[in-house]
Amino acid sequence: MTKANDAGRRRLWWKKSLWLLLLFIMVFTSGCWDRRELENLAVVLGMGLNHTPGGEGYEVSFQIVRAAQIKSPGVSSGGGEKMRPFWILRSSGPTVFEAIRNATFQSSRRLFLSHSQVLVINEAVAREGLTPALDFFIRDHEPRLSLWLLLTAEDPVQIFDASAGLEMVSSQAISDLLQQYHLTSKIRPVRLAEYVRLIMAKTTANTLPVIRTIENAGKKEFYFEGTGVIKGDKLVGFLDPIETRGLLWVLGEVQGGVITFDVPGKKGKATLEIFTSSSTVTVQVKADKIHVKIEVQVRSGLGNQTTYTDLSTPDQFKKLETRQAEVIKGEIEAALAKAREYGADIFGFGQQLYGHDNRAWQRLAADWERHFREATVEIKVKAVLVELGLTTRPVLD
Amino acid sequence: MDKERISPRQLTFLVISFTIGSWIVLPSGIEAWQNLWLIMFLSLGQGLGFAYLALLLFRRHPGKTLFEIHEIVYGPLFGKLFSLLFLWFFLQTGAGALAVFVTLLKTTVFTTTPDLALLIPWVIIVVYGCRRGIEVIARSNEPLVLATIGLIIASVFLVLNIFERENLLPLFNLPLSAVLWNSLGIAVFPFGQNVLFLMLLPKVNQPQKVMGAVFRGMVLAGLLLSLLQFLAVGVLGKVGELFVFPTYEFYRMINIGEVLTRLELIPLLNFLTMGFIKIMLCVYTMAVGTAQLFNLRAVQPLFFPLGILILLLTRQIYPSISLHLQYIKDVQPYFGLFFCLLLPLLTLGMSFLRGGPQREMAS
């Protein structure tokens, strides 16, 4: 009796062990179906979009990191030629996706797009319409919506080829640089996600920062200047850096930067540092006429002066505040004038109306360009000066 | 086999996971995207109405499954015919959920893996779960639902930095017809699909608590889905309606200080468990139904062939995601209304007309 029981138990134990063994084998010998090992991947940091020289299809350029070169910078002893830490590749095809796949004709490793940070778009492509060019980047699962979008008049390869300054790879440098836009607030960095959000708002026009190369001591370097205005999905014109900041004031995106103007009644200039700003935009519709009220509030401090007068008195502060408000108002008006000229609602007045008075928006959206141009805009700027820095008056007055 | 019992609390949890099931990754009523979280309440009301009718039917025939009720009300021949229709409904519901999850996995993580390599393990686990019985499914479902609730509540805090109030506006910009149509779409899927539980109610050990349990589950699931939708709109804005899998996209957007990013796989895994429970319930119910339809004594041998059936038919019923999307938008409201409202209503009406001794047994 007990013996039979024992045998049964032993058989059960065997059975259990066998299952456990099978489980172990399953866990430790299985792999992913479509695994991709790091050494078989070409990690792309930046991509560029251009038309093919013939005109029909797209030419996509890639900046691919050479990971080995990044790991050991400066180890070029032994006479070996030091390679740049990246490789620039061009590839073309009738659509963006095909162009990207065609890159495998040249690249021994498959391109991996998930880590790409910037997408530099040639202006000619942007003039023709961005929707067909950007569809792949939105649809495919590999590129991320956090991609920074940029415009350039040159071949995007030129941008990647330019010196990256203190960084190893220029795409990385561009991405870092865009994230400190608030030091001047004269660039408006735009991620792919933001672009898609605005374009789906229908009436709102997009803006993208413009990048170009400059010559510096025989070396090429990249440089940001101004903003492209994208109406619908087509590039229609540009804003200069001051107008760009005018736009940022309205959007409430000025989070720093400096502002310089002549000191009222004195000879010389004062430069103020902007600490924070906020804005409120209200859009009202009366009898199909649009009335926009923009209120901007700014806090700033005195950062630099070239006059010999003491600007630290409350009386002078008052004057500086008034003057600063006027200058900011001027910047906003400059941006508004350009936007009216292009008929592009870069400020998102339409989006404001869409959210708060949807019926009016539905009535006016079809002819928004005209309504936007004819809108009356009231700008109120309230500037407050709060700091002096470490000194009161200039050393010699 | 028939001695299996689940508690009302477990029933509530099963209703929650069945409702959340596949809707959470592939929502219906997507045209109303920005107002979906509000319309959800309207749909919940309709769904509760459907459920009330179905539960009235159960009250009149306590301890009987839907298929047994059919035979009592319509007689053996027509009863079996109606039951056969419902079998198809369960099959299609299960296949739909399976198709959604396979497509989701294929487009996001396993891009080059063949369908079968995903489907076969999936079906093996479903069959395994079914063979263990409803008690085991119900018990293992509890922690999974708690995890889902925890995840959705946690998402509130994860998206605080990217949530924009402006994205929620405007609150009411749809014509009434669109609101009604989309609310109907959500009322039948996911809420209406709960008609499946009519096959499982006899297994609840306290029949008098069934109605409360089902209602509680549906309301809780509705609130969770509405909350998630509210967050998704606040984060994605109008762009959300562009995506095939908006919830997945929503979790992709989470970014806390460039450190806590790319979290999308965690919710994905979690929703997979909800999908598993939903498909398991469908297969289980089909087996129970088939056994009753053909007066079989055992349910156990049916799970494997039914698993194979669902494996083979999934791609026949839903060949592509674009057809699936169109089906959800244009066909499912009618289809669902037929099974969730019209057929139970008809059965209920016939049951009243026939009268009979069942009335005294209702408490």
The confidence score (pLDDT) of residue A389 equals: 85
Show Cβ contacts of residue B308 under 8 Å, excluding neighbours closer than 6 positions.
B123
How far does Cα B338 stand from its chain's mean position? 16
Strand A148-152 versus strand A118-122 pairing type: parallel
Task: State how far the Cα of A183 lies from the Cα of A185, in Å rounded to an integer.
Answer: 6
Task: Summarize pLDDT for B271-281 with one digit per residue, the tens.
Answer: 999 999 999 99
The domain made up of A241-397 has a fold known as: GMP Synthetase; Chain A, domain 3 (3.30.300)
Q: For chain B, how are helix, strand and coil distributed in percent, rounded to 5?
A: 80, 0, 20
Dihedral sign for Cα B32, B17, B326, B183, please: negative
Chain B residues closer than 8 Å to A347 by CB: none
Count the domains in chain B.
1
Task: State how far the Cα of B134 lies from the Cα of B285, in Å rounded to an integer.
Answer: 10
Asked whether residue B243 is domain-assigned, the answer is yes
Query: CATH 3.30.300.210 residue ranges in chain A?
Result: 241-397
Q: E strands, chain A, where? A: 41-51, 58-65, 86-93, 110-112, 118-122, 148-152, 190-191, 206-216, 219-231, 234-239, 258-262, 269-286, 289-305, 376-387
Interface of B with A (CB under 8 A): 107-108, 110-113, 117, 166, 169-170, 172-173, 237-239, 242, 252-253, 255
The confidence score (pLDDT) of residue A396 equals: 83
Judged by a CB distance cut-off of 8 A, whether residue A201 touches chain B is: yes
Task: Summarize pLDDT for B76-124 with one digit per residue, the tens.
Answer: 999 999 999 999 999 999 999 999 999 999 888 888 888 888 899 899 9
Q: Map tokens 């299609």 to a residue.
A: B92
Judged by a CB distance cut-off of 8 A, whether residue A179 touches chain B is: no
Asked whether residue B363 is domain-assigned, the answer is no
Judged by a CB distance cut-off of 8 A, whether residue A1 touches chain B is: no
In order along its 397 residues, chain A shows pLDDT tens digits of 566 778 888 888 888 899 888 888 877 766 666 667 777 888 999 999 999 987 789 999 999 998 776 655 554 444 445 678 899 999 999 999 999 999 989 988 888 998 899 999 999 999 999 999 999 999 988 888 889 999 999 999 999 999 888 888 999 999 999 998 888 889 999 999 899 989 988 899 999 999 999 998 888 999 998 999 999 899 999 999 999 999 999 999 998 999 999 998 888 999 999 999 999 999 999 988 999 999 999 999 999 999 988 888 899 899 999 999 999 999 999 999 999 999 999 999 999 998 888 889 989 999 999 999 999 999 999 999 988 888 888 888 7
Nearest-CA distance B175 → chain A (Å): 11
Asked whether residue B221 is domain-assigned, the answer is yes
- In angstroms, the Cα distances linking B98 to A133, B92, B121 are 34, 10, 12
Note whether A66 and A86 are within 8 A (CB): yes
Query: Counting Cβ atoms within 10 Å, is residue B121 exposed (0-12), middle (13-18) or buried (19+)?
Result: exposed
Note whether B176 and B305 are within 8 A (CB): no
The confidence score (pLDDT) of residue A31 equals: 65
Nearest-CA distance B170 → chain A (Å): 4
Confidence of residue B360 (pLDDT cuts 50, 70, 90): very low
Task: Single out the residue of A255, A268, A235 nearest to residue A127, CA to CA.
Answer: A235
Residues 308-347 of A with CB under 8 A from B: none
B169 contacts A197? CB cut-off 8 A? no
Asked whether residue B124 is domain-assigned, the answer is yes
Task: State how far the Cα of A131 lies from the Cα of A24, in Å rounded to an integer.
Answer: 50
Judged by a CB distance cut-off of 8 A, whether residue A139 touches chain B is: no
Nearest to A200 among B112, B172, B239 (CB): B239
Asked whether residue B280 is domain-assigned, the answer is yes
Task: Summarize pLDDT for A11-30 with one digit per residue, the tens.
Answer: 888 888 998 888 888 777 66
Task: State how far the Cα of B71 lies from the Cα of B179, in Å rounded to an integer.
Answer: 38
Cα angle for residues B100, B102, B108 (degrees, 5° grid): 100
A146 contacts B169? CB cut-off 8 A? no
Judged by a CB distance cut-off of 8 A, whether residue A131 touches chain B is: no
A355 contacts B169? CB cut-off 8 A? yes
Nearest to B170 among A138, A197, A355 (CB): A355
The confidence score (pLDDT) of residue A79 equals: 45
Note whether B145 and B17 are within 8 A (CB): yes
A145 contacts B170? CB cut-off 8 A? no
Q: What is the ipTM of this complex?
A: 0.78
Q: Which residues of B20-40 are buried (b: 16+ CB within 10 A; e: fewer)?
A: bbbbbbbbbbbebbbbbbbbb
Task: Summarize pLDDT for A143-200 with one digit per residue, the tens.
Answer: 888 899 999 999 999 999 998 888 889 999 999 999 988 888 899 999 998 999 899 8
How far does Cα B356 stand from its chain's mean position? 34
Which residues share a beta bridge with A215? A220
- Three-state secondary structure readout of A307-359: CCCCCCCHHHHHHHHHHHHHHHHHHHHHHHHHHHHHCCECCCHHHHHHHHCHH
Q: What percent of chain B has pLDDT over 70?
A: 97
Indicate the range of A263-267, A337-341, B169-173, B229-233 predicted with least confidence: B169-173
Nearest to B110 among A34, A201, A356 (CB): A34
The confidence score (pLDDT) of residue A34 equals: 65
Asked whether residue B360 is domain-assigned, the answer is no
Question: Residue B308 belongs to a domain with what CATH number?
Answer: 1.20.1740.10
Judged by a CB distance cut-off of 8 A, whether residue A22 touches chain B is: no
Task: State how far the Cα of A69 lies from the Cα of A83, in Å rounded to an integer.
Answer: 7
B170 contacts A354? CB cut-off 8 A? yes
How many of the other CB atoms lie within 10 Å of CB of B330?
A: 12
- For A164, phi then psi, to 5°, come to -90, 10
Note whether A299 and A386 are within 8 A (CB): yes
Note whether A237 and A340 are within 8 A (CB): no
The confidence score (pLDDT) of residue A32 equals: 66
The confidence score (pLDDT) of residue B361 equals: 47
- The terminus-to-terminus CA distance of chain B in angstroms comes to 27
Q: What percent of chain A has pLDDT over 70?
A: 93
Task: Single out the residue of B133, B93, B86, B122 nearest to residue B311, CA to CA.
Answer: B122
The confidence score (pLDDT) of residue B78 equals: 92
Asked whether residue B329 is domain-assigned, the answer is yes
B173 contacts A197? CB cut-off 8 A? no
Task: Summarize pLDDT for B5-43 with one digit per residue, the tens.
Answer: 999 999 999 999 999 988 999 999 888 898 999 999 999
Tell me which residue range forms the domain holding B309: 8-354
The number of C-beta contacts closer than 8 angstroms across A and B is: 42
Confidence of residue B132 (pLDDT cuts 50, 70, 90): very high
B173 contacts A362? CB cut-off 8 A? yes
The confidence score (pLDDT) of residue B4 equals: 87
Asked whether residue B1 is domain-assigned, the answer is no
